[in-house]
Structure 1
């Protein structure tokens, strides 16, 4: 790649939650804290609530297998507010992302954002690029207190993006919403899926992200779940080259860069900086653990089930009647995912496991074991002579 995305950890770039743990303190509008002070065994950096699986799009990669109709057993408005009450128990300033499907399929969305904001939560949103995402909607969400909006662009042109999303006009609607967010002063994040179908568009997408004035580019490396099972991932070798390119982009881009479900981006950046003659005295991304499924990250489904990630469908129970904080902190599933020394295969032998840890979601999707090696990572520890996981790939 010739044209390239400052390297942020997921924590630096996205988890702008207050670092305090005094759940009895009054809700306040808090400035982004130093993420290194957050203990991920006690609270997540990022809590995702999938408010609905309804969406008018039919995207090729959709984790949720979204359909136009809302599920009859979705959390109600009252149950959703109780969930936000539970999220507040993690500590003030907890970052909450309202996702879907398309969150705008819920008529109570603005009310939920306002309620969470009044509780002292940092509320963000990942709507779909549809006709419902108007400038008036953006203004209403901003007035309700939303702190950031994330939109997805998987192609740099209308033809490529709309083909991937399964909806003509999605690109133009998404770009219009991005510009509306910029004009309203709402920080914008762009999410992009990396697979064989999209990888060659990354340089042009990088230019588009800059043009739209985004504060963060979140580059998601495909996990084969939902409709994404039919897509081709890139190979570990291609993934390594993409991550090297991302570190180059991050050095000069006017926006932050992070990866999703590809924590070995941190390992690539650390190695690159160690090799660089102008490397800083400290490796900025290695100063604490990054977040991975169940370790700094938690996901609540539209029906209240708690998962380590939306891409890792192993549940720690349902939070409808409470227990969100206890399950995150104490469930066997979440505790095991936070033990990097319990990882198997070459991930367990890797000297970078405490700053990386591999994608637990991808390991689960390929093997059924969330502690297995991540098949997308091509790095082999020096003294490791065990099995090397493979991944079906294309697009080299």
Structure 2
């Protein structure tokens, strides 16, 4: 176990205000900036503390809501550039994301800009609660990419859009974008009204995503670290096999793109890597492990971030796979996976419990059941 939790990515929610009102929004976005949210000078102080107190400075992602709606958005980017921070922006693909804003982000040295696509045009527009949202997002993604800015697409996976994944993959290939970050729905915020996919469906979806990774896509899953287990198991076997859903996704992908994921050559070796570590700071200063992990471990308005990290028992616990409970505790993959702590917390009340979305049964668990 490492002595200190060292985040790779730091998400800073500038505001919950957004021009969208998506049906799954974890932030339960609001229409206007709240007076309770951190001001520009508070964000500046936070960024300065990062560079002065942290030995390894994480990559910062400015998110929301829609971060463009923060009244000090431009000066915040200026501060990030002045401090030579690596940073990215995750804006809403609406009227506020103008050509001038894109140029401004480029001028300040934005590392990447991420937009969301959640299905076919009709599915996406329904999820985003706005007609024409899919078309607008594709237009903006094209514009951002044409400026030479690293462009990422985010997708939230839920029961509603599970069979739209091949269409999104096809769309990304047409756009020439190969960076895809997939969030597996956690029932929080407005997402309480949506249904997450089942544990068995997650197995097939993760197998599908791993094969897209083999095909050359950069895939990152959020709240589904089980993809590391899928990767190891597949490499050991040397071939991919799955259930009905995987076969259906494969058939649809072949129809749309001509790619047969079952014909891809499986790599011979697994390159070990630890999980990406994240921290999230809300618009009012609360710190948590991620935006979907609602347990606060402190507030940057009251304490320096580095002090919060060093004193948090939550961070110490989730950094130690030996502290995990249930089948996660005996799983031979807990060093590379560890399950979703956010989902465990939301569904069981204990962030150290087993991830309810994982269908895998470790050998010890199987013996106990028998």
With the length of structure 2 as denominator, give the TM-score of the two structures: 0.88
> Does 2:47 align with 1:47?
no
Q: 277, 295, 310: which one pairs with 1:329?
A: 310
> What is the count of residue pairs matched by the alignment?
342
Q: Aligned-pair distance for 1:110? A: 2.3
Q: 283, 295, 310: which one pairs with 2:270?
A: 283
Q: 82, 92, 98: which one pairs with 1:118?
A: 82
Query: Is the partner of 1:373 in helix, strand or coil?
Result: coil
State the alpha-carbon separation in 2 of the partners of residues 92 and 364 from structure 1.
Answer: 28
Gaps of 5+ in 2: 240-264
State the alpha-carbon separation in 2 of the partners of residues 176 and 331 from structure 1.
Answer: 43
> Does 2:43 align with 1:80?
yes
State the alpha-carbon separation in 2 of the partners of residues 86 and 387 from structure 1.
Answer: 50
State the alpha-carbon separation in 2 of the partners of residues 91 and 173 from structure 1.
Answer: 41
Asked if 1 retains the 8 angstrom alpha-carbon contact of 2:235 and 2:269, the reply is: no
Q: 242, 246, 250: which one pairs with 2:213?
A: 250
Q: Aligned-pair distance for 1:58? A: 1.1
> Does 2:196 align with 1:209?
no
| Partner in structure 1 of residue 139 of structure 2 | 176
State the Cα deviation string for residues 30-60 of structure 1 (Å, max 9, x = none): xxxxxxxxx6934200100011000111111
State the Cα deviation string for residues 218-244 of structure 1 (Å, max 9, x = none): 011111100111111111111101111
Q: Aligned-pair distance for 1:281? A: 5.2
Asked if 2 retains the 8 angstrom alpha-carbon contact of 1:42 and 1:90, the reply is: no
| Partner in structure 1 of residue 95 of structure 2 | 131
Q: 101, 104, 109: which one pairs with 1:140?
A: 104
Asked if 2 retains the 8 angstrom alpha-carbon contact of 1:86 and 1:322, the reply is: no
State the alpha-carbon separation in 2 of the partners of residues 211 and 369 from structure 1.
Answer: 43
State the alpha-carbon separation in 2 of the partners of residues 104 and 40 from structure 1.
Answer: 37
Most deviating of 41-50 and 363-372: 41-50
Q: Aligned-pair distance for 1:167? A: 1.3
> Does 2:231 align with 1:269?
yes
State the alpha-carbon separation in 2 of the partners of residues 237 and 300 from structure 1.
Answer: 32
Q: Aligned-pair distance for 1:177? A: 1.3
Q: Aligned-pair distance for 1:386? A: 9.6
State the alpha-carbon separation in 2 of the partners of residues 211 and 40 from structure 1.
Answer: 45
Matches within 5 A, 1:181-196: 181-196=144-159
Point out the structure with the larger helix share.
2
With the length of structure 1 as denominator, give the TM-score of the two structures: 0.83
Over 3 Å counting, the alpha-carbon distance change for 1:386 and 1:81 in structure 2 is: farther
Asked if 2 retains the 8 angstrom alpha-carbon contact of 1:298 and 1:307, the reply is: yes
Asked if 1 retains the 8 angstrom alpha-carbon contact of 2:5 and 2:316, the reply is: no
Query: Is the partner of 1:138 in helix, strand or coil?
Result: helix
Gaps of 5+ in 1: 1-38, 389-396
Q: Aligned-pair distance for 1:211? A: 1.9
